[in-house]
A and B are shown apart, each in its own frame.
Chain A
Amino acid sequence: MKLKLVLYAFAAIGMLSGISLFGQSYAVTNAKIVTVSGATIERGTVVVRNGLIESVAADAKVPADAQVFDGTGLTVYPGFVDALSNLGLAPRPTPAPGQGGPGGGGGAAAAAAAAAQAQPSNSNYPAGLRPEEATIDDVRSGEAQFEAVRNAGFTTALSTGRTGIFTGQSVLIDLAGENVSDMTLRTPVAMHIAFATIPGRYPGSLLGTFSALRQMFNDAKRHDQLLKMYATDPRGMVRPAADKSLEALIPVVNGEMPVIFVANRENEIVRALDLAKEYNLKAIIAGGQESAKFTQRLKSQNVPVLLSLNFPKRTASASPDADPEPMDTLRFRAETPKVAGKLAAAGVKFAFQSGGAASINDFVANAVKATENGLSKDAAVRAMTLSPAEIFGVSDRTGSIERGKIANLTVVKGDLFGMQKTVTHVFVDGKLFEPKPPEATAGRGPGGRRGEGGGANPSALPNVAGTYSINIQAPGQALTGTLNLTQQGGQLTGTMVTELGTTQLKDGRVTQNGFSFAGSVVFGGQAIDFTVQATIAGNQFTGTVDSPQGAIPITGTKTP
């Protein structure tokens, strides 16, 4: 059976290259169907055709031409949605080999590369303060990039950029389709504002960020007024400047386009809500890790939350003579898993998002944790299906299992909220993906886990093991420390020690010309997940530390 399916799938892909996928029909029978919009069907059939849900019912007729899956023991959910991500965007640029070789300067080169990446623009505003930028312009075509996320059951994601105060008007994409037009569900969905700064110029501090935003909102309102005056009667009036940045803000200050504020902690949420109130913005809070403290305000201002599932946890061990962690931090970590339950109880609309977590697996794992802390399982499923669709204004076409809606479906074997679960089928826009079962244990032994890039031959990999003194060019404060790498074939383990503490390396890999790993540090009381990509040349490496806070250069020199 299984083999047959795989063959079909291959055949389908083979036949369909270049032609429409429409026409293929699938039926999942005898499955539990969690429709989310209506009652759960304990045993029923979902039929998919032409990218849409053709029928769903306990006794839905299976078409003669449908490829049928026996869903006994399987549960069909609406496709999971990551309500805030960077999916589809290129990974952070890593310095090309040759740049920043021996003699240093690698960090500066990486920074310059990052700066050069800022697109040329005729905007009157500096990079980072350009609301006209649309994320869809940066989304890459091709669906292979989404494999890991799709395998975890995700069919849809909201995507925005990583940098700036205006991080880019977001695009809602389905995680399949070979070109961006096919992937796009809706664009633009919302304006995105992060309380970030533009180092080295105005606004260079949080103070300036707020005053700069306020001035731009004022100017956008006035610009709207002037454009209307000019359209009515241009004579005797200096023509309003063609300012695409201000034009992009007009739907925002008119309350037509929602604004998604990244706001996790109490102060950030208050500031976002205050600003939204002052300018009558249609606000959405993203992150919302302390949003449970503001359920009344969120309800009265009608502000939904894109709740981060990147729960904070202590990841670094401080030395015995370090000060104890602040109570705020300890309480914050203990409280975060309870937030979803509290929002639900108070009737605040919310959707789950990955929150920049290093691994998508944390998403479902922490959604489960939320259900152990006061959230009902139904509400948890809703927060990753229909609720985000409602918040993003697409619930008429996706987010639940209903006839005629987009065939975004996730089929799970076992209990989604239990320990034993496997995503067996994912339909994105009616296209079937069957996640491969995970390879026998994330291998510790030799040959357990393949290197990245399609089986790099371990013998061709460089030897990167050793101790490096490292320098991380964090804005405003350079961090120094040591990186201890232990290599076993293509795998890398070890620790990174900086002023922020000791971090155990995760997912360490040796690549053809360098290495990569993930980790987490505690900064300002919050766990920050990061990944490092580095290129090695002789006894030095240059690379980038990628975190939700941005990309910063890292360099290292091997200590003999």
Chain B
Amino acid sequence: MEMLKAIAIGLPLTVLVTILALMIGTVVALPIVAGLRSRNRLIWLMSRGLVDLLRGIPPVVWLFMLYYGISIGAVRLSALQAGVLGLGVVAAAYLAEIFRGAISAVPKGQWEASSALGFHRATVWTRIVGPQTARAAIPAYTTFAIGLLKDSSIASTIGVSEIVFMSSQYARQSGSGILVFFVAAGIYILLSVPLGLLSRHLDVKMRKAVAR
């Protein structure tokens, strides 16, 4: 019980890191997607390079670089800031690819019908392509979010006191060995299974709405 309490102290930070990183990732992904779809070769090349750079380096290395390596002026990033930022930019690269895929899954005919009807570009994105993209992206997006929830444990390496950090601290102090990590595993499962269920529920609901 005492063990559970000790670990649970890390729960808010796990959730916080995950949510903030997901938000940063989602927002930063949008201009990257625009760049990946750009017909301007330079912009495309830069976006492509950025995605490959962000994805190509392990998240833990990003976190170390941000935490130990970067100081903006006299200010150094806190462990939480570095953790959220690092996981956020890596998430942006993956999410950009997910969004790009979802956009290209919208049939060409939808674009053509929109053009033929004379819709403005903004209308096409907000009313036609956007909603269909969001729908197509939901399964991959939640899969990524669940992955990110677990990857947030990487932030423990730079001292963010989330679940894994608290668990290893407890293990060291109490000498309870491996058991504490089983409990931590249980907490992660309790967090990720509902997310998966929610995703499937949303997916089924949207499919039904369209095929009523």
Q: Decide whether A and B assemble into one complex.
A: no
